[in-house]
Amino acid sequence: MGDKILEVGGAGIESADAKVKALMNNMVNSETPGYRKSDVVIKSFPTYLEEAQRRSSTQVPRIERVNYNQSPGTLLQTGNNTDLAIGGEGFFVIEMPQGEGYTRDGRFTLNQDGKLVTAAGNYPVMGLSGPITVNPGDEIEFSGDGKIRVKGVEVNTVKIVNFTDTSALSPINGSTFKANAQAEMEINQTPRIVSGYVEASNVNIIEEMMNLIYLSHVYGLDAKIVSNREAMMSKAIEMGSSGQ
């Protein structure tokens, strides 16, 4: 597109569409435990490179990045003692085919081999001394500091890791993340674990609905910009076609 105004309108629709895409995903996952809300970050960008130095240049919106909001969700009581929630910051470590995964989704169950696995995907949960395993059929207990006891004997500790910068995490799905090479990670020595609870999604559906209303207006306005510009251009073409 050579026309600046058309370009602004088009880019506006494109960025609003990307925002709706993330918003719709947040909405359908508003009841998924451990889900982290995603936001599309939009930044204005000069249309033409040579204009960038000038004080007033046409700026179009561009998608900068998709950000995953790591603020905690509320706790839901499940009554199942292998369901865990983390108080404060940090992530559970799970063993995935792609390597270590980090999640706050604490829906765990004991499988037939006595291994503690995630309900979503059956990936083993890591403790400080390897994957958490008990003899099949044994009752497992979690204390508030992450210690795991079987019949009163301490066997392992839930591994919780903290990241200095959570933007170094990239998502595998909406609740499980993998760490980039730049990620700085440390093991939380004093974790707080709540057994019998899971952490809900941190999506606020009211906020999403409000954003959707706003986005639908952005969409409409950008469409208006394009259609007005189109009308002006066709007028200009008519002018040129000498009185026929």
Partner 1 sequence: MFEPLYVAATGMNVFEDEMVDITNNLANASTVGFKKGRVEKESLFTIERTFQTELRDQMLKQGIVPSFGPTEYGTGVRVSATPKDFSQGTMEVTNNALDIAIQGQGFFQFRMPDNTFAYGRAGNLHIDNEGNLADPNGHKIEPGIVMPEGTTRVVIRQDGTVSVSINNSVETTDIGQIALVKFFNPAGLKSVGQNLFVETESSGVPVIGVANQEGFGSINQYALENSNVDVMSEMMRMVMVQRVFDTVSKAVQSYDGMLASVEKMKS
Q: Are the C-beta atoms of 133 and 115 separated by less than 8 Å?
A: yes
Measured from the CB of residue 190, what is the shortest distance to partner 1 in angstroms? 30
Instruction: Count CB atoms within 10 A of the CB of residue 103.
Output: 26
Q: Can residue 60 be called a binding residue for partner 1 (CB under 8 A)?
A: no
Closer CB to partner 1, 147 or 178, in the complex: 178
Q: Are the C-beta atoms of 86 and 104 separated by less than 8 Å?
A: yes
Q: Which two tokens stand for residue 95?
A: 């063993």
Identity (one letter) of the amino acid at 139?
A: E
User: Which position among 175, 191, 193, 197 is part of the footprint of partner 1 (CB under 8 A)?
Assistant: 175
Distance, CA of 92 to CA of 158 (rounded, Å):
8
Measured from the CB of residue 241, what is the shortest distance to partner 1 in angstroms? 18
E strand or H helix that includes residue 154: strand 153-157
198: Cα separation from own chain's centroid? 17
Closer CB to partner 1, 47 or 188, in the complex: 47
- Of 46-54, 88-96, 189-197, 208-216, which segment contacts partner 1 by CB under 8 A? 208-216
Q: Can residue 174 be called a binding residue for partner 1 (CB under 8 A)?
A: yes
Distance, CA of 16 to CA of 126 (rounded, Å):
40
Judged by CB under 8 A, the number of residues near partner 1 is 65
Measured from the CB of residue 35, what is the shortest distance to partner 1 in angstroms? 5
- Of 26-34, 48-56, 154-162, 189-197, which segment contacts partner 1 by CB under 8 A? 26-34
Rule CB under 8 A: which of 92-111 touch partner 1?
A: 107, 109-111
Q: Are the C-beta atoms of 201 and 35 separated by less than 8 Å?
A: yes
Q: Can residue 112 be called a binding residue for partner 1 (CB under 8 A)?
A: yes
Closer CB to partner 1, 194 or 215, in the complex: 215
* Helix, coil or strand: residue 52: coil
* DSSP assignments along 192-209, one per residue: EEEETEEEPP---HHHHH
Q: Which residues bind partner 1 (CB under 8 A)?
A: 13, 16-18, 20-33, 35, 38, 40-41, 43, 62-67, 79-80, 107, 109-114, 119-121, 136-137, 167, 170-175, 205, 208-209, 212-213, 215-216, 219-220, 223-224, 226-227, 230-231
